Amino acid sequence: MHCFINYKRVEKPLRIPNLEVEIGFGRGDFIVKLAKENPEKNFLGIELSGISLEKLLKRVKKEGLSNVFCTRVDAYWGFYLLFEDNYLENIYMNYPDPWFKKRHHKRRLTTPERLYIFAKKLKTFGEIRVRSDNYDFIEFTKETAETLECFEIEEGRLEVSEPLTKYEAKWLSMGRELYKLVLKKVREPKFVEHPRIEEVKELFPVKIPKVSVDKEKIQNTELKLGDKVYFKTFKVWEGEKGYLIESLLSEEGYYQKFFIEVKVKDDGIVVDVSPFSEVLRTRNLQKAIEKVAELLSS
Ligand SMILES: C[S@@+](CC[C@H](N)C(=O)[O-])C[C@H]1O[C@@H](n2cnc3c(N)ncnc32)[C@H](O)[C@@H]1O
């Protein structure tokens, strides 16, 4: 398997033995250190930043590491889509964005629905190890963890004797306080309502009888496809053989930007996702294709 995992295409659930995950690996110092010190284990980094991924890929290649993998996706959806329950050995979260303002706390990586998904995918006796320089974030995470009723919780200060990254060692030597929180899963978490999406094996094009295409009907529309599912179209481009519709689908907060292709043929019109758009194939994406076909036929 390649180091980079395309979560939209890879076969799920992911099968990588002895797997540990780092959420938000940034420069990659920590995951690379873990991988070098534990060649018998595998490590997957989940990151949103493309630059971080590029840096890690270069480093892994240069150092010839075969036990590091990475994917670019929001951590919640990465865990939700990629792993089966009780699969991961340990999870690491180092200095995640603390989102200081109260109104932004819902974006924190340790809100109940996120921590619930992380806990579900963790093996019993596996640990979520959090490091932060923000004590308010540690407290918030501890409180969330308590509500799930599935962890033994250990809290403390990070010590110089622990495996540290270059920056941590520097911060500690400067006298900065660094905190750690270890959440050991001892039973299954209490259920928390959480966002879901349904992936499908295949997306099917929709064929409709030939009509004259009215661009006004399909551009700049906003449609509700279901509970917390919204589909928006923007600009429509006309080409020689049909049209391309700039589209956005939001499913419970999972966003996809892509193009829908409308091919005008002699015997009818075919609506499909453009082959140039890399998408996660979901039930609602199929609905979006059907909706465009419906709009064209109306
Ligand atoms: C403050 S940096 C810390 C980076 C690194 N762990 C370290 O200790 O230097 C937080 C990192 O988490 C990533 N991140 C934030 N939210 C994320 C999410 N929901 N899913 C995946 N990565 C995320 C950011 O892109 C960023 O690289």
What domain range includes position 262?
Answer: 206-297
Instruction: Give the pLDDT confidence score for residue 1 in this predicted structure.
Output: 64
> Quick check: 48 pLDDT over 80?
yes
Task: Specify the DSSP element, H or E, that contains 62.
Answer: helix 50-63
pLDDT in tens, 70-81: 999 999 999 999
Q: Is the pLDDT of residue 12 over 70?
A: yes
Q: What is the DSSP string of 82-143?
A: H--TT-EEEEEEES-----SGGGGGGSTTSHHHHHHHHHHEEEEEEEEEEES-HHHHHHHHH
Taking the C-alpha atoms of residue 106 and residue 139, their distance in angstroms, rounded to an integer, is 15
Per-residue model confidence as pLDDT tens digits over 272-295: 999 999 999 999 999 999 999 999
Nearest atom, ligand 1, residue 75 CA: 20
> The tokens of 20 are what?
């540990």
How far, in Å, CA of 147 to CA of 16, rounded? 31
The total number of structural domains that make up the chain = 2
Question: Ligand 1, from 29, 48, 53: best to mutate by most atoms within 8 Å of Cβ?
Answer: 48
Q: Are 213 and 271 in contact (CB under 8 A)?
A: no
Kindly report, residue by residue over 232-261, the tens digit of the pLDDT.
999 999 998 899 999 999 999 999 999 999
- Threshold 0.85, pTM exceeds: yes
- Strand (E) or helix (H) holding 290: helix 283-297
97 is an active site residue = yes
Q: Is residue 123 domain-shared with residue 237, that is, in the same domain?
A: no
Question: What average pLDDT is seen over the chain?
Answer: 95
- The reply to whether 220 falls in a domain is yes
Helix (H, G, I), strand (E, B) or coil at 219: coil
Task: Measure the CA–CA gap between 111 and 115, rounded to whole angstroms.
Answer: 6
H-run or E-run covering 295: helix 283-297
Residue 135 within a domain: yes
Q: Do 229 and 280 belong together in one domain?
A: yes
Q: Residue 127 — very low, low, confident or very high, per pLDDT cuts 50/70/90?
A: very high
CA atoms within 13 A on the CB side of 70: 27
Pocket of ligand 1 (CB under 6 A): 23-27, 46-49, 52, 74-75, 94-97, 109
Say if 12 falls within a structural domain: no
Which of these three, 150, 185, 220, is where a domain ends? 185
Ordered DSSP codes for 18-53: SEEEEES-TT-HHHHHHHHH-TTSEEEEEES-HHHH
